[in-house]
Amino acid sequence: MNDVTLTINGKPVSGVTEPRVTLLDFLRDVAGLKGTHAGCEHGVCGACTVLIDGTAVRSCLMLAVQAEGEDITTIEGIGGSGARAGELGVIQDAFCETHGLQCGYCTPGMILAAEALLSVNTDPTEHEVREAISGNICRCTGYVQIVDAILLAAKRLGQRNDAVPSDATLA
């Protein structure tokens, strides 16, 4: 058993875990954060995506002990929590606006992949959006409304003070 201490969504978290436990299982079972999902557990689907220092990482491919000291963001760290639960972040809100999801299983990973993209590229092209989510498989949506959501979020983030646009991209 190993002690692991890391930062999750801005808060220090410590836990005791076997060396073989993945970061994914640590987040879910030790930290109790169920928003990070297991899809394949072999690094292909991206359902387990989290951010480490702002970079999208597959938490199923990393051991918890390897994440010692890292600064991790999960879907629970996006948008409001506690008393502010129910307040959506800009990207989350855009996913709701375009219906960039159906079953919601790939969605946390998609939103974190989008977060990683938009933190370094505030005005992506459609191609760049598709590239950024190409490691995240969605079986429900065919990606169209996800791409719409991320482009909408980029637009809104670029116009922070604007009122919410009314042009829902509902094709």
Residues near ligand FES (CB under 6 A): 38-41, 43-48, 58, 60, 101-107, 138-141
By C-beta, is 62 or 69 nearer to another protein?
Answer: 62
**In sequence order, what are the residues at sequence separation of 6 or more whose Cβ sits closer than 8 angstroms to the Cβ of residue 37?**
47, 48, 105, 106, 108, 109
Strand 71-73 vs strand 2-8: parallel, antiparallel, or unpaired? Answer: parallel
> Which one, of 86, 82, 63, 145, lies nearest residue 110 by Cα?
145
75 binds another protein (CB under 8 A): yes
Applying CB under 8 A, among 88, 128, 155, 157 the residue interacting with another protein is 88
Least CB distance to ligand FES at residue 97 (A): 15
Applying CB under 8 A, among 57, 63, 133, 152 the residue interacting with another protein is 133
139 binds another protein (CB under 8 A): yes
How would you label 131-156 residue by residue, b for 16+ Cβ within 10 Å and e otherwise?
ebbeebbbeebebebbbbbbbbbbbb
Number of residues that bind another protein (CB under 8 A): 62
96 binds another protein (CB under 8 A): yes
